[in-house]
Structure 1
Amino acid sequence: MKERGGLNEDMELPEKFQFDPKQGIDNPALSLADDIESGEAFEPRFCSLTKPDGGTFGFFLRHEFGSAGHVIRQVEVGGPAYHCGLRDGDRLLEVNGEYVDDMNPLRVVQKIKGAGKQISLAVLDQRSYLEARARHLNTAMLLPGHGQTSEAGAKPRLCYVRRVEGGFGFSLSASEDEKSPFHLTVNVGGPAEAAGLPSGSRLLELNGAGICHLTKTQVNKKLKQAGPAVALLVMEPNLEQFYCRRGIKVTAAMADPSTVPFKARKLHLVKGPDGYGFLLRQEKHASKAEGQFLREVEAGLPAQKAGMKDGDRLLAVNGKVVEGLTHEDVVYLICMSGSMVTLLVIDYLGDQFYSIVGLSPLLFYEDEHLTSPGLHPHDDSLQPATGSSDRNVKIQPRPRLCHLRKESSGYGFHLGNITDEDEIFVAQVVPESPAQRAGLKVGDLLIEINGTNVEKRSYKDVIRWLKEDSGGQLTLLVVDREGYTHYRDRGLTICAGMAETAGQKAADDTELHGREE
């Protein structure tokens, strides 16, 4: 049974305050406010979670109708979240040092999903959160620094430094025993300064790996072997005390977005007579995970004119994130767009950079309308942390291409309709027939016969056509009622380019020119 959001029945709400001159500042409501400001009433908890390889953080994040805040649910006993002290009903206030209580829930989901293997959270227990809300308190005021990353609002920096003939343009200084902490001396006018590396900052990570256990000699050796560029996570000295006071481990996900060198790009494509003009291919990217890549961008066609580059990795289609979707699902999303589509991409170097530092390129992309697989602004549940939503993506039913070869008993199906003008549907499918083996189902609506659209044809014409000699073979494009309504409500024309073929695995790459129609 779904939990009802709202206040606990046994919670006592404060009485409405009426000023009493005889009480003055001894009024209990004023004393309560003093306790809140002193931090004694509500104490947020700070949790740092590390996700095991192939595992999850072990909790669900929900945005429940009728209940305030981002709610922690289904904390897996024995999982990372449980061991760090997260409990069912906790309200999420901060993700990686950023205040999120007033943030769009889908954006919070993306910040957790994009943060890699480590996240730092600030939470408040359910009772305290609801009391704070009932008293109209700003929950940011309950956090050290009032919800800022630091008193000065500064953040760690993630810098990409290219090597030149003289090196990277910085040097390390360390303690007498040559061990961490390592602070950087940045050469004036060098590549490190150009990359925004602050002189005197402390080095935390080199190419996505922590260096606190290494000696100065070992770090310098890694720099020599690093290749043409390095990704450095650094923190200015005045931030160290702030994070230490909270017990938060600084990670790349906390970085100031303005210092991140690679950004996702949005491409708007309008299909021309020859299609979009690119190849969509499924390949492994630098992190060894499967991704969708844009290849063979043809000069002069819409993709190239929109700024697409060979090797771009596709991140989202029309605002829907494609990470976690299959190749076939991504092709479907593009085809169902009709003659226009908006793609979010990251170039080859950017993809390499984010893979090295262990983050998603979407982490620093600010767009409240971006949705992840299985998530919708009106969904009752948001589930970014466990990853289960990625494995249970609900894709709207697609059209299907059914290939039938006639046998002595025929094709094995019958059509029907209510009146001669209504949609023509499959009324019967004979067991063990060519129709059943091809994936035809009772209730399917008929869209095409052998590549010709029959939606506007009368039932009598279609039956007459089917009885004509077609060489003993039929290719039918069909869709179920739910899918048909989905496309029609969006003004989309159903075509073979949207379809999956029953019983066949789609190819590993798809050419998005004009041939999908």
Structure 2
Amino acid sequence: KDGIDNPALSLAEDTDGEAAGEPRFYLLSKGSAETFGFCLHEELGGRGHVVGQVELGGLAQRRGLRDGDRLLQVNGRFVDHLDHQRVVQRIKASGNQVLLAVLDGDSYAAAKALGRDLAQLLPADVRPRLCHVRRDKNGFGFSVSGPEGTKGTFQLSVRHGGPADRAGVPTGSWLLELNGASVRSCSRAQLARKLKQSGSKVTLLVASGAVEEFYRLRGLQVPAAAADASWLPYKARELRMVKGPGGYGFLLKEDDCGAGAIGQFLWEVDAGLAAERAGMREGDRVLAVNGESIEGLDHQQTVLRIRAHEDRVTLLVIDPASDEFYRSVRLGDPRAAGRARLWGGSQPQTRVGRSLQGSRLAVELHEPRNSPPRCSFPAGAVPSAVPRGR
């Protein structure tokens, strides 16, 4: 009756099944033209990350998120202790799918008043695992079993010491994706063909029995966005640089980075200067500056981030091969992605290397001639609220 008389109630899908006072888990999956349908606020006094402005009939409201919920986890990682901007960046970097764990406001306040460790309210690890397996002369080192005649249900037996074991595939785990594509609709014969077509290497998204059960009991699909990628051979690198008399010694250039996105790339690394000594390689893409994602920043804003500390900077970068790998398994943006194109023709670039005045960083903006006026953006890298999922 309430659902009939109150349209707002009829829109909410009861998918969480959690008791009052316990964390609730929601997997939000949107299309590229859709939004998550909520904002994230920060209250004064350290009262957590607050869900607000939940759109009536929007994705978040349909899944069950409520105004006043406190966000505890993003993609299986505890975030209550993080500063607000980093939490916003984690949600944005998740792309079109994100797994959230929340606690209602009253329960959150009560737990804080009692001094409870909120991380203890959550399961230890709800993340699936991404593993990259290279075939040896005996194969990939795993076999597949499952109910006869049932599609998409595949359990892996792993040979001890074999390629799959060395790549981190747990024996008894469930196969969810193969090379970035779901296997939910695959038969045993179709899966065998896909494995054969993979050649000498294959990337698997797998979940242990406990992780698979966690999602199944809540009616949730296991999200690739929440995967533990620590077993992958492809990783981002951290470059720590202290500027010398010749500056840092590299060129920062904005360019396409695939799928219509824009990124900031490193080129013309000067021999013997700080960038080369830190291990910078031409073609690396910048993911973060001084521990903060550059997701959403344009070229000029990224330069200002690099210049924020006059004599030192730390860049998180990824090489082209690793970048391409993450895109191939639908994790094409491991930390950040450029969004705004400021010029329609050739891209802006900045020389980061020559000293102009003492220890100040030299910045020479090279812009195309006869380019249209530069767009004006508000100060600050990331807004204080999740901008409706964009």
Scaled by the length of structure 1, the TM-score of the pair is 0.57
Task: Judge conservation of contact 1:206–1:231 (CA < 8 Å) in 2.
Answer: yes
Q: Which amino acid aligns with 2:36?
A: F
**Partner Cα distance (2:88, 2:266) in 1:** 26
Aligned counterpart, 1:216: 188
Aligned counterpart, 2:142: 170
Aligned counterpart, 2:203: 231
**Partner Cα distance (1:159, 1:226) in 2:** 14
Aligned counterpart, 2:106: 127
Deviations 1:26-78 (A, max 9, x none): xxxxxxxxxxxxx9652443222102114331211112113612100122233
Find out whether 1:497 has 2:364 as its counterpart.
yes
Question: Which of 73, 86, 89 matches 1:110?
Answer: 89
**Partner Cα distance (2:122, 2:372) in 1:** 50
Q: Which amino acid aligns with 2:290?
A: N
Change in 2 beyond 3 A, CA 1:221/1:40 = closer
Change in 2 beyond 3 A, CA 1:298/1:161 = farther
* Displacement after TM superposition at 1:492 (Å): 7.6
Aligned counterpart, 2:9: none
Question: Which of 199, 203, 206 matches 2:175?
Answer: 203
* Displacement after TM superposition at 1:96 (Å): 2.9
Question: Which of 80, 84, 88 matches 2:59?
Answer: 80
Find out whether 1:361 has 2:338 as its counterpart.
no
Change in 2 beyond 3 A, CA 1:186/1:288 = farther
* Displacement after TM superposition at 1:182 (Å): 0.8
Q: Which amino acid aligns with 1:86?
A: L
**Partner Cα distance (1:313, 1:506) in 2:** 26
Task: Judge conservation of contact 1:46–1:247 (CA < 8 Å) in 2.
Answer: no
Find out whether 1:147 has 2:126 as its counterpart.
no
* Displacement after TM superposition at 1:134 (Å): 4.2
**Partner Cα distance (2:207, 2:362) in 1:** 54
Aligned counterpart, 1:295: 267
Change in 2 beyond 3 A, CA 1:302/1:492 = closer
Task: Judge conservation of contact 1:172–1:183 (CA < 8 Å) in 2.
Answer: yes
* Displacement after TM superposition at 1:212 (Å): 0.8
Task: Judge conservation of contact 2:76–2:126 (CA < 8 Å) in 1.
Answer: no
Task: Judge conservation of contact 1:76–1:82 (CA < 8 Å) in 2.
Answer: yes
Aligned residue for 2:28, secondary structure, equals strand
Find out whether 1:192 has 2:186 as its counterpart.
no
Deviations 1:473-492 (A, max 9, x none): xxxxxxxxxxxxxxxxxx98
Q: Which moved more, 1:62-71 or 1:265-274?
A: 265-274
Task: Judge conservation of contact 2:135–2:201 (CA < 8 Å) in 1.
Answer: yes
Gaps of 5+ in 1: 1-38, 364-371, 374-389, 392-451, 454-490, 508-517
Q: Which amino acid aligns with 1:497?
A: E
Find out whether 1:306 has 2:278 as its counterpart.
yes
Task: Judge conservation of contact 1:201–1:235 (CA < 8 Å) in 2.
Answer: yes
Deviations 1:443-497 (A, max 9, x none): xxxxxxxxx99xxxxxxxxxxxxxxxxxxxxxxxxxxxxxxxxxxxxx9848663
**Partner Cα distance (1:286, 1:163) in 2:** 29
* Displacement after TM superposition at 1:156 (Å): 2.2
Count of matched residue pairs: 342
Query: Which of structures 1 and 2 has the larger relative contact order (alpha carbons within 8 angstroms, sep 6+)?
Result: 2
Q: Which amino acid aligns with 1:242?
A: F
Find out whether 1:327 has 2:286 as its counterpart.
no
Question: Which of 233, 243, 264 matches 2:215?
Answer: 243
Change in 2 beyond 3 A, CA 1:102/1:272 = closer
Deviations 1:126-185 (A, max 9, x none): 3343344445554455xxxx3124xxx574211122344554333322321152211123
Gaps of 5+ in 2: 1-17, 341-355, 375-390
Aligned counterpart, 1:94: 73
**Partner Cα distance (2:241, 2:248) in 1:** 7
Q: Which amino acid aligns with 1:84?
A: R
Task: Judge conservation of contact 2:310–2:361 (CA < 8 Å) in 1.
Answer: no
State percent identity of aligned pairs: 49
Q: Which amino acid aligns with 1:361?
A: P
Deviations 1:360-395 (A, max 9, x none): 4239xxxxxxxx99xxxxxxxxxxxxxxxx77xxxx
Aligned counterpart, 2:252: 280
Scaled by the length of structure 2, the TM-score of the pair is 0.74
Task: Judge conservation of contact 2:311–2:360 (CA < 8 Å) in 1.
Answer: no
Deviations 1:203-227 (A, max 9, x none): 0112222211111222233333335
**Partner Cα distance (1:172, 1:295) in 2:** 45
- From the CA coordinates, give the structure whose radius of gyration is larger: 1
Change in 2 beyond 3 A, CA 1:183/1:287 = farther
Deviations 1:372-426 (A, max 9, x none): 99xxxxxxxxxxxxxxxx77xxxxxxxxxxxxxxxxxxxxxxxxxxxxxxxxxxx
Task: Judge conservation of contact 2:241–2:274 (CA < 8 Å) in 1.
Answer: yes
Task: Judge conservation of contact 2:180–2:203 (CA < 8 Å) in 1.
Answer: yes
Aligned counterpart, 1:33: none
* Displacement after TM superposition at 1:202 (Å): 0.7
Question: Which of 313, 319, 324 matches 1:341?
Answer: 313
Q: Which amino acid aligns with 2:30?
A: K
**Partner Cα distance (2:246, 2:63) in 1:** 56
Aligned counterpart, 2:152: 180
Q: Which amino acid aligns with 2:212?
A: E
